[in-house]
Structure 1
Amino acid sequence: MRFILILSFIFYALSTISAEDLLELSCLTDEQCMQFEGGKCLDSRCICTARGGDSEERVDCQPKDEKRNNIVGGPCPCTLPHAECDAQTQQCFCAAEYLPSDDRRRCLSLKVPLNGSCEMARQCQSMDTFADCQTKRCTCQENFVSYEGNCLALLDLNCSNNAMCETVDASICLPQTAKCACPKDLVSNENRSACIPGVDYATSCTNSAQCQVQLGAGSMCDNNNRCSCSPKHYAKRDETLNSTVCELRVPYGAYCRRTADCQQMSDGEDNVLNSRMECKWGECQCRAEFQVVNNEHCVVKDAATANQLSLILPILTIWPIYSWI
């Protein structure tokens, strides 16, 4: 029995399951399994039963003659609202200005204004850097307040008219709070006593909001008081606009339409494109010569196998001793 358990662990550690193997069978409702004969949703997966009467005999899921696709990245025809068929790949993707939901079963609006319905922060921050998705509504972040469709930095200064705010470069006295607020593209200083301008990448800063004005929500004021990108973002230079922004790093499993969507500029490699991933069935996945590790990184296959064996070797080392106990 001990030997069987050890072998089971070894096969589990060495085995890999690609995302596309599970993609079409995941579900939330029975309706999402209607593309299969006798399909229904059980424990978040589509299962299928034999035809005839009330049979509960499990069978392999087979698509109906009229195949319906219920997932972004799946084959055409596309039945999802705001999805379209890519003629080159014959796959369904969200149309321009839309992005897939976390479960890849809906196409959501990329840009959502304040008070609009949202599911992820990216939707709100596409409209306003200082917005966030809270309780499924786009709202302003802490110490920011909504005013005429924008999130303005709020100062800790009372006022009754705009003139009282002009001495600290804040031209707005908000009626709902009776406090001064900074104009758009200005943010508050650390103690919220005055308005200060945003600054560029690698420039001196006093708080992260200063960096986010120009670099986006993925930037921060680091320990050296310089504007930089957060660990999940990288600095992307736009020569056309002569500016730098912090773009989200492309993770394994990210939504894509083209292989170019899975590539990014790699830090410390002379701006060489990261080409370890390719776009396959709407997801960024490792190329054939690479293998995913920890569902996050693509490494050369030999290195991946060595990493998995490092988990197994300690058990194999103590196995002779354990077998005699």
Structure 2
Amino acid sequence: MNAIKSLLVLVFVMITIPNFIHCFYSIVPCYDDEECEHLENATCIDYICNCNGTNLCTEKSITVVTRIGANCSRNSDCNIEFSRCGNNVCACKELYVASPDQKRCLEVSSGLGASCEDSVQCYDRVPHSGCQNNKCVCQQQMHKYQGLCYRNVELGQNCGSDAECSATHFSKCINSTCSCIDGFVASTRGSRCLPVVDGEHAPCVDNVQCTATMGESSECADAFCQCKDLYQVKNSTKKCVRDMGEASRNQSTSILMKIGLCLFTIFFLWNH
């Protein structure tokens, strides 16, 4: 009889304890539905995960996702740091971007000059930028302007904004063409904008600085603007004009040479 009683007690324990344990562990506290997502058909009601109207919930099958863009059903499926499950696919969290191999979530850079591992961190924040020597910089043929990257547009080329011309100091986009601003003139090679000089004896590095004020008969010689030979500055216009005194002397010399030539010819013919 005692053996039978002992057997009945053992059967009771084997049946009751697992159910008790199941009941105990099925009650899952929560603050929102996301904390219940690992359970089948679960929602958070009164801070307890509720499944089909009861607190008896079962675990979902476990899926391990190791690539961004792969299918998932809950956040814990995404086995990638800084990732989450959204719209049934693993994606990087806000302020993170997927690496080119889709196996990591990298922090988006704070902008040009910020540290980086891969170019995706840079151009996700600043278009046309990349990672060079672990720093975010503008790509080739681009330049930085007010924290963004713009294409290099040289003087005389078509442009769409002042920012595109900003690689050349003292220039802007005027009538869809990169041009020097008032008070500046394009260098002979068109590579930079130089200040227009006030007039004669002003310091200069290029003839165009002089000709813009003093006319084509001026030049930059010995680092200063001056008129070319046989020219002088006319005070009223600041332009270089022909030196009339010099011209008169040259004209007189020419006349005397002609008279001399005529006399020599007459003398030569008379004696022969």
**TM-score interval, normalised by the smaller of the two chains:** 0.3 to 0.5
Higher helix share goes to which structure? 2
Structure number with greater Rg is 2
> Greater relative contact order (Cα 8 A, min sep 6): structure 1 or 2?
1
